[in-house]
Amino acid sequence: MTTLVPALPGGVTVPRWLRTASIHVAWPLALALLLELMFGRSQYSHPLGIPLPTGVSLGILINGAILGMLYALLAFGLILVYRANRIINFAHAGLGLVPAVTALLLVTNRNWPYPVSVAVMLVGSALVGGVVELVMRRFTNSPRLIATVFTIGLAQIFVYLELNLPRWIGGQPGLPFNFPTPYTNFKVTIGGIIFNGDYFAIVVATAVICTGLAAFLRYTRAGIAIRASAENADRASLLGVPVARLSTIVWVLAGICSGVAVYLQAPVTSVPAGGSVSPLVLLYGLAAAVVARMESLPVAFAAGIGVGMIQQAAFAGSSRPDDAAALMLPVILAALLFQRRRMSRAFDTGVASFKALQEFRPIPLELRHLREIHRARYGALGLLGALGLAAPYIVGTSRAAFCTQAAIAGMVAVSLVVLSGWAGQISLGQYAFAGVGAAVAGGLATRNHQDFFVTLAAAIVAGAVVAVLIGIPALRVPGLFLAVVTLGFGAAVQYAGLSRERFGWLLPPDGSYVTKPMLYGRIDLTSDTRFYYFCLIMLVLCCLSAWSLRHSRSGRLFIGLRDNQRAAQAFGVDATVTRLSAFAIAGAIAALAGALSAYQSQVDPGSFTMDISLIAFLYAVVGGLTSLPGAVLGTIGLTAIGYFGNAKLSVLASGVGVSIVLLVFPGGLAQAAQQARDGLLRWLAARHGIHVPSLVADSRVDAEHDESADQAVLRSAADHVKKVGVATESRRVSSTTGSKL
């Protein structure tokens, strides 16, 4: 039953969801006006009697509201998948990307009828969503984090397909900029902005989809079952609800939402290559979904409109539409903090939780004294050291700068292991902390001419402080929602923190480079090769520090809180201090990496983008997020593949490679290496006649305890049962005879 509340004079009532939606439309409008006051003009006009800044006309607001409906469509699919599988689908924008682009190319390059192309888009999007769901079933019993990262790999595959579709279908590279539609000629001018029929198609399609999905989830048997399984999949399965089949339906609907969004976007704003699956576009959809608590479609519809208004207001005030991305962090934080109580209840009942990541056990104590183990350990360390020292000469001294980039990426991987692998705090914006370190170190070196080590120390402190400031509100956000917060932080640093127009006093002057230092007047680091060796030393020190941390009490506290927070708190562990410590340590390591990168390349937003942060997290998970060697070596290896490979092929390789690795080894390459190592250890234990319970749990220590002994026990038990049965039967016969007498 729809709850009605009095909202208008004369006893007129409106539904509660409509009142909530109107509230969520009001705050984005107020924020848009505030943004214009900050970046735009100070004069006012009065369209329809509403005072608005000159830069934000009524037409701009309507344009933003209509474009925001596309973000609402993305939010619909994100909400559906999250409620069905409790993951954040980073491939959501790509589910309908390939079918929609295919349908558009069939219209422009092959002259197919428009209704046929619409059918191709809808059917193709539904099929892609269904196929992806079948693949995602492989991760039913895997940590939710691994399933979420797998969707990032899928997004890479969709990007590769989109880049090649124009050549496969149209015979020419690049997507066309003009997509004809039957209603393009219908035009209306509002507030100086011309709206054609394509804009009204977005309004109609989004309203129909929102209404249809809401009615489907509320009134149909399948929709009610989907809502039930979303609340508690295990209980629904025990009650006979076909959870797997319903999950397929959800992914099909999500694919259709994505396909419609891309298809309707093309005639209005065009579809840039790879742009439809960029983290920025996904961030806008995530912001709308988070405001809607990942559950309410009408609120997501209104929130998407608000996000679109913010984006267009930013464009009107500063001529940079991406300025709105910097405001997504406070929007997301405010939405999550206001919803914290309700989300925490879900987290406590296990609905929003994700399973613990796999821990990799060390070599068993029974085998550590063996000579072969010592030789293998020292041999592996020697091989890694030799490769590290010879890397500039292997790739060529002219490419020594790449070796430096790989070492810096390895340091960021170390910070991810500490924060995400051990402390369980998911960070998708780790390169944002590196950006903070680069800004501080570069600014001190160029503007204040500070000593090299002073700039590194200041960057470390700044990274730790900023990480703690991000960690304080993040402590109130459970599970994968923290990933959304850190993604918003990455956008804020990229589009605002590294903007010279806002923080020019902190950043190096435009066009200037930070000069590599001469240490103590003797050690020359100005060459790329020597600076690489210094970065390699820093990487080794970071690894040793993290290894020492893991084997200390603090490292054990990180693991305990990650696996069972309530049990750890019952033993007196301060969860707040421990997690903030993890944020500070990880932020300091990432900022150190960023400070070193400032001496290697120019400090600009392009070096610390959201895409780079996502790829860094992806590489760390593929290597093994809880394994320090696995994450570092996996990151360096995949960075090398991306550097020396073709751009398109590297995208495909990273997407397909990541997908295959996570499908076979959810624990990453470290899991594969551990399985191979355990096989060798079993062989080594058998060779030396050593019993290792952790490796061979079902083996028998007593070799004389064979099958004959088991058979003797069974015969004895059978004889006992037979004797007891005969005695019982004799007593029964005797009692029966006596009663007859």
What is the DSSP secondary structure assignment for residue 602, as one 8-state letter?
-
Identify whether 370 is part of a domain: no
Give the range with max mean pLDDT: 139-143, 331-335, 461-465, 682-686. 461-465
Whether residues 269 and 408 share a domain: the answer is: no
Whether residues 96 and 242 share a domain: the answer is: yes
Whether residues 178 and 289 share a domain: the answer is: yes
Is 34 a residue whose pLDDT tops 70?
A: no
Q: What is the mean pLDDT of the chain?
A: 79
Sign of the dihedral through C-alpha 96, 99, 103, 108:
positive
Identify whether 164 is part of a domain: yes
Is 171 a residue whose pLDDT tops 80?
A: no
**How many domains in the chain?**
2
Q: What is the three-class DSSP state of 18? A: helix
Domain end call among 269, 292, 324: 324
- What pLDDT score does 537 carry? 95
Span 306-315, average pLDDT: 84
In this structure, the strands spanning 518-519 and 193-196 are unpaired
Identify whether 576 is part of a domain: yes
- Please state, in angstroms and rounded to a whole number, the distance separating the CA atoms of residues 656 and 398: 30
The upper half-sphere exposure of residue 386, i.e. CA atoms within 13 Å in the direction of its Cβ, equals: 6
260 CB-near residues (< 8 Å, 6+ apart) = 73, 96, 100, 121, 122, 125, 205, 209
Whether residues 411 and 313 share a domain: the answer is: no
Of 79-93, 303-317, 338-352, the poorest mean pLDDT is in 338-352
- What pLDDT score does 653 carry? 64
Please tell me the pTM assigned to this model.
Answer: 0.81
Instruction: Give Cα 409 to chain centroid, integer Å.
Output: 18
Identify whether 311 is part of a domain: yes
Whether residues 317 and 420 share a domain: the answer is: no
Helix locations, 352-451, DSSP H: 371-395, 400-416, 430-447
Of 389-393, 419-423, 652-656, the poorest mean pLDDT is in 652-656
Identify whether 425 is part of a domain: yes
| C-alpha R_g of the chain | 30
- What pLDDT score does 456 carry? 95
- What pLDDT score does 524 carry? 84
Is 575 a residue whose pLDDT tops 80?
A: yes
In the beta sheet, which residues pair with residue 44?
A: 53
Is 718 a residue whose pLDDT tops 50?
A: yes
Whether residues 412 and 310 share a domain: the answer is: no
- Please state, in angstroms and rounded to a whole number, the distance separating the CA atoms of residues 26 and 32: 10
Sign of the dihedral through C-alpha 712, 718, 720, 722:
negative
Give the range with max mean pLDDT: 9-23, 341-355, 581-595. 581-595
Query: Can you give the residue range of the structural domain that contains 469?
Result: 402-680
Question: pLDDT band for position 725 (50/70/90)?
Answer: low
Neighbouring C-beta atoms of residue 486, cutoff 10 Å = 26
Domain end call among 303, 324, 345: 324
Is 56 a residue whose pLDDT tops 70?
A: no
Of 355, 366, 287, nearest to 324 by C-alpha is 287
Span 611-622, average pLDDT: 88
Whether residues 145 and 235 share a domain: the answer is: yes
* CATH number (domain holding residue 104): 1.10.3470
Domain end call among 267, 297, 324: 324
Owner of token pair 């990933």: 483
Kindly state the tokens that stand for 93: 């924008």
Of 170-184, 423-437, 445-459, 476-490, the poorest mean pLDDT is in 170-184
**What's the pLDDT tens digit per position in 201-225?**
999 999 999 899 989 888 888 888 8
Is 323 a residue whose pLDDT tops 80?
A: no
**Which of 620 and 23 is assigned the larger pLDDT?**
620
- What pLDDT score does 447 carry? 87
Identify whether 192 is part of a domain: yes
Owner of token pair 């196929």: 131
Identify whether 211 is part of a domain: yes
- Please state, in angstroms and rounded to a whole number, the distance separating the CA atoms of residues 243 and 245: 6
Of 61-75, 326-340, 394-408, the poorest mean pLDDT is in 326-340
Whether residues 274 and 182 share a domain: the answer is: yes
Phi–psi pair at 160, nearest 5 degrees: -60, -45
Is 698 a residue whose pLDDT tops 80?
A: no
Question: pLDDT band for position 719 (50/70/90)?
Answer: low
Decide: 433 and 415 in contact? Cβ < 8 Å.
Answer: yes
Is 131 a residue whose pLDDT tops 60?
A: yes
**145 to each of 342, 608, 625, how far by Cα in Å?**
22, 23, 10
Q: Among residues of the chain, what percentage have pLDDT more than 90?
A: 23
Whether residues 306 and 406 share a domain: the answer is: no
Q: Among residues of the chain, what percentage have pLDDT more than 70?
A: 78
**Residue type at 237?**
S
- Please state, in angstroms and rounded to a whole number, the distance separating the CA atoms of residues 721 and 717: 6
Phi–psi pair at 475, nearest 5 degrees: -65, -25
Q: CA angle, 260 as apex, 257 and 263 as ends, to 5°? A: 150
Span 319-326, average pLDDT: 71
Phi–psi pair at 218, nearest 5 degrees: -95, -35
Is 373 a residue whose pLDDT tops 70?
A: yes
Identify whether 195 is part of a domain: yes
The upper half-sphere exposure of residue 575, i.e. CA atoms within 13 Å in the direction of its Cβ, equals: 17
**What's the pLDDT tens digit per position in 281-302?**
888 888 899 888 888 888 999 9
